[in-house]
């Protein structure tokens, strides 16, 4: 088993391979074995489980996952790091694939026989799209433990009425339950990011909590509602529903003067259903 990665060994690996971390690819490498172990513990994985890691970097988390006896498949976009990982993970059985988590075909990489857990320190600049894409296109992933920028984590897990609640929170709630289970200081990374991080655990629901005929349509309304979140809904939704916005809201039992941030999934589903019925009549 490889040794846990420390500030010294991460620096040595980067030097040995002549690498400088890429800011554009969100490369802030974890250098604290205790944090890596904590992430593994909070993910709830046990020996024999299968884990997808997006963005393994130089392998700090991958090594900790391997030590816990899980089978890791890691997807890394940077070919320079794939070469480093081949050194660090030699003989561990972890599989490293060069690829882009925003494009890769998850169903071709991850088989459906047993559930997968995603455990990842996500690249900050694309964390939300990577997570949403996995929620939408990788049904074999049943649980997620992701490290993201703290404010992104709060947005992912927020409920209606909370300060951080937004369109992303609604989409996450449709697929999963989500909670922030910890924070991580910037001091455990090299290079150090400017912000604190959050650990978010998500559990995929067996079925969405609301029945919606056309989820894409509902999420279009949600995006319009939050695009101008301080506006009353009758005005915010006019960008999609035009002059019918007020009538649609009333028919759904929603106060047209309410704001998007006060509506939960059942209310969004009700608006989407009214408009669909109106469109069909
Ligand atoms: N997991 C490592 C750790 O904790 O030290 C590295 C985390 S670093 C924040 C993010 C990693 O994601 C980098 O290795 C970066 O190259 C990789 N990455 C960035 N964009 C990616 C993408 N679209 N698909 C896959 N990997 C990506």
For the chain, the structural domain boundaries read: 7-204, 215-280
Q: Reduced to 3 states, what is the DSSP secondary structure of residue 220?
A: helix
The answer, yes or no, to whether any atom of ligand 1 lies below 6 A from the CB of 21, is no
Distance 43 CA to ligand 1 centre (A): 18
Question: What are the phi and psi torsion angles at 39 (to 5°)?
Answer: -65, -45
For 239-253, the DSSP string reads HHHGGGHHHHHHHTT
The answer, yes or no, to whether any atom of ligand 1 lies below 6 A from the CB of 212, is no
The answer, yes or no, to whether any atom of ligand 1 lies below 6 A from the CB of 274, is no
The answer, yes or no, to whether any atom of ligand 1 lies below 6 A from the CB of 57, is yes
- Give the residue with greater pLDDT, 268 vs 278: 268
CA separation, residue 125 to residues 120, 149, 150, 152, 193 (Å): 14, 9, 13, 10, 12
In residues, how long is the chain?
281
Contact 249, 233 (CB under 8 A): yes
Q: Whose CA is nearest to atom 18 of ligand 1?
A: 55
The answer, yes or no, to whether any atom of ligand 1 lies below 6 A from the CB of 147, is no
CA nearest to 249, candidates 263, 261, 172: 263
The arithmetic mean of pLDDT across residues 18-30, rounded, is 97
Q: Name the E strands within 166-271.
A: 176-184, 189-190, 197-204
pTM: 0.96
Position in ligand 1 atom list of the atom nearest CA 55: 12
- Share above pLDDT 70 across residues of the chain, in percent, rounded to a whole number: 98
Crossing angle between the packed helical segments 150-157 and 127-137, to the nearest 10 degrees: 30
Distance 227 CA to ligand 1 centre (A): 29
- Beta sheet of 176-184, edge-to-edge order: 95-98, 71-76, 50-54, 116-121, 141-149, 197-204, 176-184
Domain 215-280: CATH class, spelled out: mainly alpha
Radius of gyration of the chain (CA): 21
pLDDT at residue 276 greater than cutoff 70:
no
CATH placement of domain 7-204: 3.40.50.150
The arithmetic mean of pLDDT across residues 112-117, rounded, is 92
The answer, yes or no, to whether any atom of ligand 1 lies below 6 A from the CB of 2, is no
Residue with tokens 């059942």: 266
| CA–CA distance, 261 with 239 (Å, rounded to integer) | 17
pLDDT at residue 36 greater than cutoff 60:
yes
CA nearest to 39, candidates 184, 138, 165: 184
1 pLDDT band, cuts 50/70/90, is: confident
Q: Whose CA is nearest to atom 8 of ligand 1?
A: 27
- Through-space distance between the first and last CA atoms of the chain, rounded to whole angstroms: 65
Residue with tokens 């690819």: 25
| CA–CA distance, 35 with 270 (Å, rounded to integer) | 43
pLDDT of residue 277: 63
Same fold, 7-204 and 215-280: no
Residue with tokens 């709060």: 154
271 pLDDT band, cuts 50/70/90, is: very high
The answer, yes or no, to whether any atom of ligand 1 lies below 6 A from the CB of 84, is no
Q: Whose CA is nearest to atom 12 of ligand 1?
A: 55
């Amino acid at each position: 088993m490889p040794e846990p990665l420390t500030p010294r060994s991460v620096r040595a690996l980067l030097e040995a391979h002549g690498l400088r971390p890429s800011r554009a690819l969100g490369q802030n490498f974890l250098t604290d074995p205790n944090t890596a172990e904590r992430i593994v513990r909070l993910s709830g994985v046990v020996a024999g489980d299968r884990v997808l890691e997006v963005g393994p970097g130089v392998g700090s988390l991958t090594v900790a996952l391997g030590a816990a006896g899980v089978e890791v498949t890691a997807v890394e976009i940077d070919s320079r790091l794939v070469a480093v990982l081949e050194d660090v993970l030699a003989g561990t059985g972890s599989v490293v694939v060069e690829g882009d988590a925003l494009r890769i075909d998850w169903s071709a990489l991850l088989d459906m026989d047993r559930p997968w857990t995603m455990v990842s320190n996500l690249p900050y600049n694309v964390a939300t799209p990577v997570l949403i894409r996995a929620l939408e296109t990788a049904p074999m992933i049943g649980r997620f433990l992701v490290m993201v920028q703290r404010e992104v984590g709060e947005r992912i897990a927020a409920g209606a009425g909370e300060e951080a609640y937004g369109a992303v929170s609604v989409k996450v709630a449709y697929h999963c339950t989500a909670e922030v289970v910890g924070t991580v200081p910037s001091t455990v990374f090299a290079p150090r990011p400017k912000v604190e991080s959050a650990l978010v655990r998500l559990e995929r629901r067996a079925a969405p909590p609301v029945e919606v005929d056309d989820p894409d349509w509902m999420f279009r309304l949600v995006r319009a509602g939050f695009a101008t979140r301080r506006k009353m809904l009758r005005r915010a939704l006019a960008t999609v529903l035009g002059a019918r916005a007020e009538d649609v809201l009333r028919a759904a039992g929603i106060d047209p003067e309410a704001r998007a941030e006060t509506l939960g999934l059942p209310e969004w589903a009700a608006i989407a259903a009214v408009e669909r019925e109106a469109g069909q009549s």
